A and B are shown apart, each in its own frame.
Chain A
C-alpha cells in the first residue's frame, strides 16, 4: 500500500491511456468512469494469454480491442448501480445503433493474475517493484465486471482512496510547512481523515455519525474549519488547524524556535547569575 506513494498519479496513467491510444472522451479522474478505458490495457495482457501467445493474437488483440473499446459491453450485462450507468448505457445504445456485432455474453474477461481467490502480486511486478496502478486497474475493472474473477473491487478502491489520501496529505503537509514559516496562519488547508467510515450518507441524506466522526466534527469546529464528505471519505478543510501529523511537526518547530528565542533572551542573565549559582553550602574558606 505504501508503494502508492512511489507511483505517479494514476489519473495521468488513465489520461495517457485515453489520449494516446484511444482518443476517447474527456479526461477521467475517478476509477469508475475510467473503466471505460481500462479494459484495453488488460485486454492486451489477457488476450494473448488466452490465445496461447500466438503471434497472430497480436492482431487479434487490436481487433478485439477496437471492438472492446466501447467497454460497456461487459458492463451493461451487469446490473450494477454505478453512477456512471447513464453514460455506459448511452454508449451501449450507440453501439446498438451502429449495428456492430456485440457478443457481450461471450466475452468473459479473465485475468490470469487473479489466482485462487486473490490477486497474484507477483504478476504485477514491473521494473522490479509492484505496479500498484495495474493492481487498481485490474481490481476496478474486475469489480465492474461484477466479480468476473471474484474480486469485488474493494482492493482497488481502497488503494485508490489511500493514494488520494496520501497525495492530499502531502499537499496539506507542504502547505502547512510553508504556512508555519509565515507564522502558522493559513486558510483552507486540508485535513484528510484516514478513516473513510466516519461519516456516511444514508439514503435519506442524513449523516450518521460514528464516534470518530463526532470527534472530527468537534475538532473541525474547534479549529475553525468545516467538514466535507466525498465519496464516503471525509475531508476536513481547516482554517486554523491542520492534520495531526503535520500539526505536531509544526508545533514542534514552533516550540524549538520559541525555545531558541527564549534562550537567546536569557543568556545574558544567566551569565550574570552564574557566579551565584555555584555557591554551594560550605563553600567558604578562612
Chain B
C-alpha cells in the first residue's frame, strides 16, 4: 500500500519509473543467460529437468518482490496468492475498467475454488441449446443437478473483484502500461521493468499490443433485447455451429445481467469476422429481434500455448501463455488457475518470500498445470478436429450431443475440470455412436446434395 500512496503523491501524467526486482511479464523473452545454480541440486527427470532451489541465497532484509503484468483473472488471482504467501507484489494493469470481450462463462468449480460471491454471477445457465447448421436444435443440460450451472459473468465485474481481493491481501495495484523489460546483468541480478504510470484521475488506458503469434479473434456485440425475449434467455445459452457462423469455432448467445452477448470467433478467416457475426445474428434473429446493440467489442485470443512459458525468473500465465481451450474456447478458469498455481509455486520455492527463486520453481508450476489439464486440452483439440471440419461433421456433433451419456460426460468434465473416465461399456457405445453419427451425417449430405438444385 505504501507504494500506491507514493504514486498518487508524485506527478500527474506520465512518468517513467524503473522498478528493480523480480517480476512476471506477459512478453516472451529472447536469449538465455545460462548459469549453473550453485551447490547440490535435486534433479527430477520428467518432462524436463526440474531443479529445486533450496540452496538459493537468502534475501537479506527484504521479501521477494514479484511484479505481475496484467490484471485479468490470471494476474488478479496470482497477485492475491502471492500476497497471501508473504511476497511483495505489484500488479500492473493498463485499464482498470477493461471489459474484455468474452463469453463470460465460468464453470462451477471456479466459484468454489476461488470463493466467488454469488452476486458476481449475472445468470446461472442450466440449459444449453446447440443448434446445428441445418437449425436442428438440441437441448443440453438435462443431466445437470439442481445445484449445477454454468455461471455467466461480466468480465469487468469479475476482474475488478479479483484485483480488489489481491489489493486486500497486500498487493499493490498500479494503473500503468508495461513498456519493456530489462534482463539482469548477471546471475542473481535484478530484472528491470519499465512502465508508464497513469494518474488515477486521468484513468489511463494505454495501448494494447499483441505478440506475433497465431491467434483467434473473438468478436462480440452486447445486445439489449426486450424483456419478453430476455425471458427465453433467463437460464439458457445458445451455441450455433456452422460454416456460416464460423469455419473453426461457434457463434454464441450468452445471457448477461440485462442483455445478451452475441458473438463469434475464428482463427483462419479473421477478415470475414463481420460476416460471421452477421450470420450469427441472423441465426438468432427471431430471438433477439427488436434488440439494440449497446456495445461492440473484439479481442485477440490465443489459440495454442506459447513455445516458451517459463524463462529465467519470468513465467507466463493465463491468456499470455495461451491457455485457451480448443472447441469450447474456455479461458477464464484456466487463466485464474494458472495464476494461482504459479503464485503458489513461487511462494513455496521462496519459502514465503525469504529466498530468491529460480527457473526450476517456475517450471514446477508448469509441470503441475500440464499434468492436470493437458488431457482436457487434448480431448478438446481432438473434438475440434473431428467435429468442426465441415457442416456434416457439425451435424453429427449436434446429434451426438443429444445423447444423455455425452451430456453427462461433457458437463462433468466442464463443470469440475476433471476428465473422468466413464463406464467402459458406455464409452464403447459412445464411440460407436460417434462413428455412426459421422457416417450418417456424411451420407445425408450426399443425399441432400442430390436434392439441392
Q: Which A residues fall within an 8 A CB radius of B?
A: 264-265, 268-269, 271-286
With most chain A CB atoms within 10 A of its CB, the pick from B51, B307, B322, B360 is: B307
In the assembled complex, B143 has its CB within 8 A of some CB on chain A:
no
Set of chain A residues within 8 Å of B187, measured between Cβ atoms? 285-286
Contact A282 B34 (CB under 8 A): yes
Instruction: List 4 other contacts, CB 8 Å, given A275-B366, A277-B48, A285-B35.
Output: A269-B378, A274-B306, A286-B187, A286-B188
Contact B35 A272 (CB under 8 A): no
Query: A280's closest neighbor in chain B, by CB?
Result: B34
**Distance (Å) between the CB of B47 and the closest chain A CB?**
4
Contact flag A284-B304 (CB < 8 Å), given A268-B377, A279-B363: no
In the assembled complex, B296 has its CB within 8 A of some CB on chain A:
no
Contact of A282 among B35, B38, B377, B385 (CB under 8 A): B35
**Distance (Å) between the CB of B112 and the closest chain A CB?**
27
Contact B370 A272 (CB under 8 A): yes
**Distance (Å) between the CB of B183 and the closest chain A CB?**
10
B37-65 contacts to A, CB under 8 A, are 37-38, 47-49, 51, 53, 56-57
B1-60 contacts to A, CB under 8 A, are 32-38, 47-49, 51, 53, 56-57
Q: List 19 A-B contacts (CB under 8 A).
A: A268-B381, A271-B307, A272-B305, A272-B377, A273-B47, A274-B305, A275-B306, A275-B310, A276-B48, A277-B48, A280-B32, A280-B34, A282-B35, A283-B32, A284-B34, A284-B35, A284-B37, A285-B358, A286-B356
Query: B326's closest neighbor in chain A, by CB?
Result: A268
Set of chain B residues within 8 Å of A286, measured between Cβ atoms? 35, 37-38, 53, 56-57, 187-188, 356, 358
Q: Which B residues fall within an 8 A CB radius of A?
A: 32-38, 47-49, 51, 53, 56-57, 184, 187-188, 304-310, 312-313, 322, 326, 356, 358-360, 363, 366, 370, 374, 377-378, 381, 385
**Distance (Å) between the CB of A5 and the closest chain B CB?**
39
Docked pose: A97 CA to B169 CA in angstroms: 125
Contact of B305 among A271, A279, A282, A283 (CB under 8 A): A271
Contact flag A278-B358 (CB < 8 Å), given A272-B374, A285-B34, A285-B187: no
Docked pose: A272 CA to B48 CA in angstroms: 13
Docked pose: A273 CA to B381 CA in angstroms: 15
**Distance (Å) between the CB of B352 and the closest chain A CB?**
19
Set of chain A residues within 8 Å of B309, measured between Cβ atoms? 275
Contact flag A274-B35 (CB < 8 Å), given A268-B377, A279-B49, A286-B356: no
**Distance (Å) between the CB of A285 and the closest chain B CB?**
5
Docked pose: A268 CA to B327 CA in angstroms: 13
Docked pose: A269 CA to B377 CA in angstroms: 10
Set of chain B residues within 8 Å of A280, measured between Cβ atoms? 32, 34
By secondary structure, the A interface counts as helix
Contact B385 A284 (CB under 8 A): no
Query: A269's closest neighbor in chain B, by CB?
Result: B378
Set of chain B residues within 8 Å of A276, measured between Cβ atoms? 47-48, 366
Set of chain A residues within 8 Å of B304, measured between Cβ atoms? 268, 271
Docked pose: A61 CA to B312 CA in angstroms: 98
Query: A278's closest neighbor in chain B, by CB?
Result: B308
Set of chain A residues within 8 Å of B358, measured between Cβ atoms? 284-286
**Distance (Å) between the CB of B403 and the closest chain A CB?**
25
Set of chain B residues within 8 Å of A272, measured between Cβ atoms? 305, 370, 374, 377
Contact A284 B305 (CB under 8 A): no
Docked pose: A5 CA to B360 CA in angstroms: 68
Contact B34 A283 (CB under 8 A): yes
Contact flag A274-B374 (CB < 8 Å), given A279-B48, A280-B34, A282-B36: no
**Distance (Å) between the CB of B318 and the closest chain A CB?**
15
Set of chain A residues within 8 Å of B322, measured between Cβ atoms? 271
Query: A265's closest neighbor in chain B, by CB?
Result: B385
**Distance (Å) between the CB of B17 and the closest chain A CB?**
24
With most chain B CB atoms within 10 A of its CB, the pick from A278, A282, A285 is: A285
Docked pose: A252 CA to B109 CA in angstroms: 50
Query: B357's closest neighbor in chain A, by CB?
Result: A286
Contact B36 A274 (CB under 8 A): no
Contact A285 B359 (CB under 8 A): yes
**Distance (Å) between the CB of A34 and the closest chain B CB?**
48
**Distance (Å) between the CB of B41 and the closest chain A CB?**
8
Set of chain A residues within 8 Å of B48, measured between Cβ atoms? 276-277, 279
Set of chain A residues within 8 Å of B378, measured between Cβ atoms? 268-269
**Distance (Å) between the CB of A247 and the closest chain B CB?**
30
